[in-house]
Amino acid sequence: MRQFSRIFVIALTGGILFSAVSCKKAVKQEAPVATEDSVATDSVQADTTVTGVALESGMSTIYLCTLGGDTIECDMEDELGSGNMYGYDQEGDTMSITYRKGTDGGKVVTNAWNMTLLHKYDKGFVVRNGVLYLDNSPATIESLDDDEMKFVINGEEKTAKPKSK
């Protein structure tokens, strides 16, 4: 039994180290990006939303370690306009983003949601294909911070306070 415990601890430590190192490498892998001229050819589409953990970011750039282990960099704006931020970009928070190709060839955020902050209000929030859903109903955020969230769901304006722990 003692031998099994040692093997388990070694395997667990190795797994943690591997996952920590995998986000250190920036992998040049493009995620699918929805464009205005995209046409659905199939009833099942790949999700265009990228979700991951926010890394140290600046005022105009988001760095995200994706769930797949890739690190991506997205500017918040370019000559064509700026993206929408719902909540704020804080290192360590889970973020879901959609992006487009920027004028310089890089990635530019179209929408970014702080899922860690949203889940303080309701665990039922998810983002699929660039649309925020609460319990399978599309929702639109009017404002979102640590103290209050205003949103529209099913045509009804709502205000929510964070749920107590």
pLDDT tens readout for residues 121-162: 999 999 999 999 999 999 999 999 999 999 999 999 999 999
What value does the mean pLDDT take over residues 106-111? 94
Highest mean pLDDT among 5-9, 34-38, 44-48: 44-48
Q: Which alpha helices (H) appear in the chain, and where do they start and end?
A: 2-22, 115-121
| Residue 96 domain boundaries | 2-25+47-160
Number of residues assigned to the chain: 165
pLDDT attached to residue 23: 52
Q: How far apart are CA 2 and CA 105, in angstroms?
A: 55
Domain membership flag for residue 75: yes
Q: Does 135 fall in a domain?
A: yes
* pLDDT recorded at residue 28: 32
- Rounded to the nearest 10 degrees, how much is the dihedral formed by the CA atoms of 38, 39, 43, 44? -20
Three-state DSSP state, 5: helix
Whether 81 is covered by a domain: the verdict is yes
The reply to whether 42 falls in a domain is no
Which pLDDT score, from 0 to 100, does residue 1 have? 55
Residue 66 three-state SS: strand
**Dist. CA 154–CA 165, nearest whole Å:** 27
CA distance 88 to 136: 24
More confident residue, 115 or 46: 115
Name the residue with higher pLDDT: 64 or 3.
Answer: 64
Is residue 112 within a helix (H) or strand (E), and if so which, with residue range?
A: strand 107-114
In angstroms, how far is the first alpha carbon of the chain from the final one? 38
> Does the model's pTM come out above 0.85?
no
In a domain, 119, yes or no: yes
- Find the CATH number of the domain harbouring 85: 2.40.50.320
**How many structural domains does the chain have?**
1
Q: Which amino acid is at 11?
A: A
Asked if the structure places residue 33 within a domain, the reply is: no
Checking if the pLDDT of 43 tops 60, the result is no
Q: Which residues contact 91 (CB under 8 A, 6 or more apart)?
A: 54, 55, 56, 57
- On whether residue 140 sits in a domain, the answer given is yes
Dist CA 64 CA 93 (whole Å): 10
Distance CA 20, CA 25 (A): 10
| Residue 114 Cα to chain centre, angstroms | 7
